[in-house]
Structure 1
Amino acid sequence: MRTALAIGDAGGVGPELAAKLLAHPEMQGRDFVVIGDARLLEMGKTHAGVAFDLPVVAASEVARGLPAGRVMVDLANCGPEAITKGSSNPAAGAASLQNFAAALRLAQAGIADAAMFTPFNKHSMRLARPDYVDEIGFIDRVLGATRSGREFNVLEEVWNARVTSHIPLRKVADTLSVERILASIKLTHEVMEGAGKPNPRIGVAALNPHAGDGRNFGEEDDDIIEPAVRAAAAEGLAVKGPIPSDTVFVRAIRGEFDAVLTMYHDQGQIAMKLMGFDRGVTLIAGYGFPICTPAHGTAYDIAGQGKADLGATLAAARLAESLAKLNPPRGASVALGADWATGAVETETALAD
């Protein structure tokens, strides 16, 4: 079992968290392919106050096979002198994108069983690639996916899935449809069953205050969300809703639901981060292998100070490994091309999210 670990934004705590993860006692004996600039990992080790050795290979050597155990694939794409700690930077953004694409391709090729990354900074990534939308759009292009995946936020006590994600709040209501919500309920059910949670109980959050209050505060809950929930229940899924969003998470953490499906990004993120900021994991599912990252950001305010909390990164590594064991790859792997680590990713288009 091997995880491809992409080093995240070098202006933040990405290198430090990668170093802390690799040095953690629980991670000893677990195989990683670490992807990024070897100089940044050394910087991360210094910030973290840890020491360990990794065999280092160039990207050109990977197609011929990697040594067993842990290894660093040195892309030599961003030295410490190219970044400024605590701020966005196009060099850091470009390296993050290249590291992420390389990790995805290693998993797609079957060389790794799961992919994970320490936190990215979207502003840095857009400085390097102005068409960058979000991780899902980028993954779609790198892998040539025929179906977009979805983000889940994961705590031990509850999961959170969303119908829409990285779009302006003013567009959310117009984006919702019975078909889209039903598909999101089904995907939540599918992913949670694949994570070893049979027949998961899903609470579906309302969009409007008091679930619309009998159409006093909008019609979406009655005309869109409720029919989608009814259709999912008719297919045998354990689903309830729409439930007012100010109580649905209370009911979940009291044990009524295994997952909450929210209508937009912050409707779930606020609750999840309040419950477990230092434990939360973002899981990107739907691509044939798990992709995990800590749910928090790059923490520019403490970059280079050795203060980054490892909790969420450690949880991400655990989840990636456990999901990969539960769902071994099926079918043929995609062969690595000669430019597997440097090949261009086609221009993104905004997702209909």
Structure 2
Amino acid sequence: MGDAAGISAELAARVLADEDVRAAADILVLGDARVLAQGAATAGVTLDVATITEGQSLPTQRDKPVLLDLGHCDPADVPLGEISEAGGRFATENFRRALAMAAGGEVDAVCFTPFNKAAMRLVTPGYEDEIGFTAEAIGFHGVAKEFNVLEGLWNARVTSHVPLKDVASLLSKDGILGNLRLTNDALKASGIARPRIAVAGLNPHAGDHGNFGREEIDIIAPAVEAGKAEQIGCDGPFPADTVFVRAKRGDFDAVLTMYHDQGQIAMKLIGFDSGVTLMGGFPFPICTAAHGTAYDIAGRGIAHPGAMRNAILLAARMVARENAPA
């Protein structure tokens, strides 16, 4: 469970009441029974979950979701709709515990209802994003990236949570090629046998043959050619203002963009309430809704569960494919 000050508890309750979610996987919820009860009341749903506490074993018969009640958050201590240390601490402790269980092989995947980065920083001042937190928590030293997934269309990005003024200096042929490899692998893990990846340019009109910048000529195009040489189905660089039009009509399975908002704006316009964020590259799937904590509607019972539902179903599909007999 994510930040208790936002819509996280309501979303958790809504997806736990969803028959498709319950059928897709054995669900273990990490949080506090009082917070989940508040979420269920807000959502207007009745939950059928088995509750255990610290030190108890998981039920051997998994006919319903299981709540591990950590008893660490009284909803009365978390002001709804506000950034708070209490909300951030609840999310941080749940996430860290879930990651440890996945790293130890106790669970196959981790999904979380939305966090608020400012609240997380009140607890962990060095908190930048979920990628860095996860890597530190499980001792991971490889390459991991965020992917946004919406209606069969994926968005990957070369740079992410960095100032826009730094983007051009952070681009390199090897960096883009590494992201092409990671994107190709993630798409295959999700069930796409022969991924088609479009690569966006950095500059207006993809540089217009060097008139508006040379990054496309000197860095991005060579990386695309190197990807093709490795049998990755990639093409580009394409102008960023038109490539999503082609991808949305089915020409590509994914678009690799050069910076955060280049892809995020397009994806959230296509479907804000159903997009998923996948943290790819880690030893296990980590998924969440692509939207945030929505403090402005917390407690009103109107949070849309579509993105969170899709996140859990994507994680379940990836695990099922990984565990399928060869």
The normalised TM-score by structure 1 is 0.88
1:142 to 131, 137, 141: 137
What SS class does the counterpart of residue 327 from structure 1 fall into?
helix
* Cα distance per residue 1:314-335 (max 9 Å; x no partner): 1111101001101139xxxxxx
Question: 2:52 touches 2:58 (CA, 8 Å); kept in 1?
Answer: no
Structure 2: any 5+ residue segments left out of the alignment? none
Question: 2:277 touches 2:288 (CA, 8 Å); kept in 1?
Answer: yes
Deviation at 1:146, TM superposition (A): 2.1
2:79 matches 1:84: yes
| TM alignment of 1:175-324, pairs within 5 A | 175-324=170-319
Deviation at 1:79, TM superposition (A): 1.1
Deviation at 1:66, TM superposition (A): 4.4
Work out the CA distance in 2 between the residues paired with 1:99 and 1:206.
39
2:43 matches 1:48: yes
Residue type matched to 1:159 in 2?
Answer: W
Q: Which residue of 1 aligns with 2:121?
A: 126
1:99 to 94, 101, 116: 94
Q: Which residue of 1 aligns with 2:107?
A: 112
Question: 1:140 touches 1:148 (CA, 8 Å); kept in 2?
Answer: no
Residue type matched to 1:172 in 2?
Answer: V
Residue type matched to 1:101 in 2?
Answer: R
Q: Which residue of 2 aligns with 1:27?
A: 21
Deviation at 1:67, TM superposition (A): 4.0
* Cα distance per residue 1:72-131 (max 9 Å; x no partner): 111222211111111100111011011111111122222211110011111110111111
2:1 matches 1:10: no
Work out the CA distance in 1 between the residues paired with 2:150 and 2:187.
13
What SS class does the counterpart of residue 31 from structure 1 fall into?
coil
Deviation at 1:60, TM superposition (A): 2.7
Question: 2:157 touches 2:258 (CA, 8 Å); kept in 1?
Answer: yes
Work out the CA distance in 1 between the residues paired with 2:59 and 2:282.
24
Work out the CA distance in 2 between the residues paired with 1:190 and 1:24.
30
Question: 1:193 touches 1:200 (CA, 8 Å); kept in 2?
Answer: yes
Deviation at 1:65, TM superposition (A): 4.6
Work out the CA distance in 2 between the residues paired with 1:249 and 1:28.
33
Work out the CA distance in 2 between the residues paired with 1:24 and 1:53.
11
Work out the CA distance in 1 between the residues paired with 2:54 and 2:290.
29
What SS class does the counterpart of residue 240 from structure 2 fall into?
coil
What SS class does the counterpart of residue 319 from structure 2 fall into?
helix
2:169 to 163, 169, 174: 174
What SS class does the counterpart of residue 323 from structure 2 fall into?
coil
Work out the CA distance in 2 between the residues paired with 1:129 and 1:187.
28
Q: Which residue of 2 aligns with 1:163?
A: 158
Work out the CA distance in 1 between the residues paired with 2:58 and 2:91.
24
Q: Which stretch shifts more, 30-39 or 87-96?
A: 30-39
What SS class does the counterpart of residue 60 from structure 1 fall into?
coil
Residue type matched to 1:115 in 2?
Answer: V
What SS class does the counterpart of residue 27 from structure 2 fall into?
strand
What SS class does the counterpart of residue 2 from structure 2 fall into?
coil
Q: Which residue of 2 aligns with 1:343?
A: none
Work out the CA distance in 2 between the residues paired with 1:77 and 1:304.
20
Q: Go from structure 1 to structure 2 and tell me whether the alpha carbon gap of 1:68 and 1:285 turns closer, same or farther (over 3 Å shift).
A: farther
Work out the CA distance in 2 between the residues paired with 1:326 and 1:81.
42
* Cα distance per residue 1:32-66 (max 9 Å; x no partner): 110011110011011111112322222333xx554
Q: Which stretch shifts more, 83-92 or 99-108?
A: 99-108
Question: 1:136 touches 1:148 (CA, 8 Å); kept in 2?
Answer: no
Work out the CA distance in 2 between the residues paired with 1:227 and 1:300.
44
2:61 to 68, 79, 84: 68
* RMSD of aligned Cα (Å): 1.5
Work out the CA distance in 2 between the residues paired with 1:26 and 1:199.
28
* Cα distance per residue 1:235-256 (max 9 Å; x no partner): 2111111100001101111221
